[in-house]
Amino acid sequence: MESSPAKAESPPESRHKDVGEILFTAEQIRARVDELGKQISLEYAGKRPVLVGVLKGVLPFLADLMRQITLDAEIGLMAVHRPHGYGHPDVKITRDVQLEIEGRHVIVVEDIVDMGQTLNKILEHLRGKKPASLEVCTLLDKPARRVVEVPVKYVGFQVPDKFVIGYGLDYRERFRNLPYIGTMKSEPEL
């Protein structure tokens, strides 16, 4: 029987066409996530940390980071909604962590800390549950636009004051599945 020609073909690649500049390649991200996993594993040695990811942007980072943490760890997921859109201070929690975190060592895992409002809301909420410790690990930090001071212990990369996409980060739900982090070819309408 003849083999299907589709098997030999490369799949189509339409996801890169609106990308401007690549800021961090998949290889650079992998190397940095490996370092963060190692650092967290050393600093939490003897503990069983709870990693709390914030949906949906954190998905690739959390999936990669958790596998570089060599300790016995637990995973929780939260979600937030911004009813008035990007940049508005109103942040609502739509999914709670659904794990008992009182007395536990909690690490909030985020894709990006920009103005700080999302993280501030999450930290206030989690603090109320009386964890033994509460730290933050973000893949990206964009300090230029910070309006709320938030304590961020672990940072993958600092980014300039540009809208970034890829490796979980979206523009109107697109680009989350890019394996790298970049900017958009045309100015996003925020």
Q: Which residues are catalytic?
A: 114
Q: Which residues contact 36 (CB under 8 A, 6 or more apart)?
A: 65, 68, 137, 154, 156
Q: Which residues contact 130 (CB under 8 A, 6 or more apart)?
A: 102, 103
Give the one residue of 62, 64, 73, 118 binding ligand IMP; rule: CB under 6 A.
Answer: 118
Of the candidates 131, 116, 137, 115, the one whose C-alpha atom is nearest the C-alpha of residue 62 is 137
Binding-residue pattern over the window 151 to 180 for ligand IMP, x denoting contact by CB under 6 A: ------------xx----x-----------
Interaction partner, residue 152 (Mg ion, ligand IMP, none; CB < 5-8 Å by kind): none
Residues that bind ligand IMP (rule: CB under 6 A) add up to a total of: 14
Give least dist CB 90 to Mg ion, A.
15
Give least dist CB 181 to Mg ion, A.
13
- Per-residue tokens: 134: 């509460």
Give least dist CB 42 to Mg ion, A.
27
Terminal CA-CA length for the chain: 54
Nearer CB in complex with Mg ion: 59/71:
59
Interaction partner, residue 163 (Mg ion, ligand IMP, none; CB < 5-8 Å by kind): ligand IMP
Of the candidates 117, 138, 148, the one whose C-alpha atom is nearest the C-alpha of residue 36 is 138
Q: Does 116 bind ligand IMP (CB under 6 A)?
A: yes
Q: Does 141 bind ligand IMP (CB under 6 A)?
A: no
Q: Does 137 bind ligand IMP (CB under 6 A)?
A: no
CB contact at 8 A, 142 and 161: yes
CB contact at 8 A, 29 and 167: yes
- Per-residue tokens: 174: 């697109």
Give the one residue of 108, 113, 134, 181 binding ligand IMP; rule: CB under 6 A.
Answer: 113
Report the interface residues with ligand IMP, using CB under 6 A: 57, 110-119, 163-164, 169
